[in-house]
Amino acid sequence: MKRVLLIFFLFSQFIILTGCSQLMRNRTEIDRIFNTRIIGIDKLEENKILFTITTKAGATNSQNSQEGAKASEILVTEGATVFEASRNMQQYAHKKPHYGHTEFVLFGEDTAKEGILPYLDFISRNLEFRYNAKIYIIRGDKANSFISRVNTGNLFLADKLSLMEDNAYAQSKTSKVTLSEALYIYSKKNVSTFLPVITIAPTMVGESQSEGNYDLIFKDYAIFRKDKLEDYLGDELSIGVNFVTNRIQSGIILIDAKDKKKVSMEIIESKTSIKPYMDENGLKCTINVKFNTNVAETLSKQDIFTEDGFQFLEHQQEAQVKKEIEKVLSYAQEKNMDFFGILTKFRIKYPMMKDELDEKWNELFPEIKFEVKVDSNVNRTYLIKDAATTQ
């Protein structure tokens, strides 16, 4: 009996001493919470925040799952801070917002220009958030407007975004940036970053626009000076960023054969290593890129599948990739924005100099001598030696 009492006493102490009373207050039935899938944050003019959350309609109210009903449920509120806005939501929402299933955090363009770091503080402190949630910048629009306009079809917006971002690898013009990556970058001094961009465009039916319907375009990166949106990179520079930061999963390299006809190369594998070093002339950095391609399509009438032909193709694709990388490096140096994390590489290589590097990085980065080495290999021709155009 003494032992039972002792165990009971210990058990009660576990609860009292560890602050479990708070945990007990958080007891909520799963059908009584608003399982947020997307968060949109916009800054309003009067120093207020427009906070938008959305979830699948069927998941919150069975009546909404009827045919023809809206696919989603959207809650919008305002507040001086994100936390206040979140709590204000409970004034009128029938369910308690829960952020454990937040997959996407969207920032409107105007908000991004003024800086997104203040809003990430709430997200990083709240224990419900998953750190693999993805961050996107809505180009030319507010996050609230984007959610309201696009979230109209039968397919819920979060499901659509999830499917689309899985397909976006094909061109390597964008990639996912998770909350943990963004928070890590923003915690560093003198580091810039890039975040993927979603652009909204009217759906085209034939040559005219379909009213009220919009397509989402997943491409391009927005670059940030500290936490403020500076510029959009465009297609070519975005591919360059992906090469430098080792984010290439697939992609197309369009090159000319010897007869100036187009050959499409499909990137099937790519690996990049950044090797920083310093000598008496200053900081230097070698970027080694090694990638493999397949011949996806050829319009050339020449036989390109010879030893010489392969060497020519490899040389062509290496030249193109090198050009893209050099272009984005020179753009970054020109803007003096290290969004590749080169500083981190130097800090790791020279830990004793990390404070000096941190302090003088803005002067050092534009002066770094980059050397780009590209090596490639053409793997497969899919057993078709002759191009269709030669027959």
Partner 1 sequence: MYKFSTKGKANDAVFEETFDYAELELSLTNIKEILGSNSDFNHRQIFIANNKHLEVSFIYIDGMVNSQLISDYVIKPLMQADQFEKCKCEADVINLIDEGTVYFSGIKKRTNINDVMSDILTGSATVLFEKCSLAFTFETKGFDKRPVSEPASENVLKGAKDAFNETLRVNTATCRRKIKSPNLVIEEITVGRQTKTAIAVCYMKNIANDNLVKELKKRLENLSVDNILTSGYLEEAIIDDKASAFPQIQYTERPDRFCTSVLDGRVGLIIDGLPIAYIAPGTLLQFVQAPEDYSQHFLISSTIRYMRFTSLFVTLLLPSFYISITTFHQEMIPTELTFSIVAAKQGVPFPMFVEVLLMLIAFELLVEAGLRLPQTIGQTVSIVGALVVGQAAVEAKLLSPATVIIVATTAITSFTMPNQDLSNALRFWRFGLAIASSIIGMYGLTVGLFILVYQWCRMDSFGIPYLSPFIGDEEIQLQDSLFRLPFSTMKHRPNSLHAKNKRLMK
Identify the CA nearest to 231 among candidates 188, 197, 200. Answer: 197
Question: Which of residues 33 and 295 has its CB atom nearest to partner 1 in the complex?
Answer: 33
Report the nearest approach of partner 1 to the CB of residue 390 (Å). Answer: 49
DSSP letter assigned to residue 305: -
Alpha helices, H only, the chain: 2-17, 20-25, 82-88, 109-114, 117-125, 143-150, 157-167, 179-186, 234-244, 307-335, 342-349, 354-364
Chain centroid to Cα 157, Å, comes to 17
Report the nearest approach of partner 1 to the CB of residue 123 (Å). Answer: 13
Chain centroid to Cα 96, Å, comes to 28
Question: Which of residues 101 and 247 has its CB atom nearest to partner 1 in the complex?
Answer: 101
Question: Which of residues 24 and 352 has its CB atom nearest to partner 1 in the complex?
Answer: 24
Question: Which of residues 105 and 328 has its CB atom nearest to partner 1 in the complex?
Answer: 105
Binding site for partner 1 (CB under 8 A): 7, 11, 14-15, 18, 20, 23-24, 26-31, 33, 35, 37, 56, 58-60, 62, 65, 98-101, 103, 128, 130
Report the nearest approach of partner 1 to the CB of residue 24 (Å). Answer: 6
Question: Which of residues 101 and 139 has its CB atom nearest to partner 1 in the complex?
Answer: 101
Question: Which of residues 9 and 277 has its CB atom nearest to partner 1 in the complex?
Answer: 9
Contacts of residue 197, defined as CB under 8 A and 6 or more positions apart, other chains included, come to 136, 137, 138, 139, 174, 219, 220, 221, 222, 232
Report the nearest approach of partner 1 to the CB of residue 197 (Å). Answer: 24
Question: Are 72 and 160 within 8 A, CB to CB?
Answer: no
Contacts of residue 169, defined as CB under 8 A and 6 or more positions apart, other chains included, come to 175, 249, 250
Report the nearest approach of partner 1 to the CB of residue 23 (Å). Answer: 5
Report the nearest approach of partner 1 to the CB of residue 73 (Å). Answer: 12
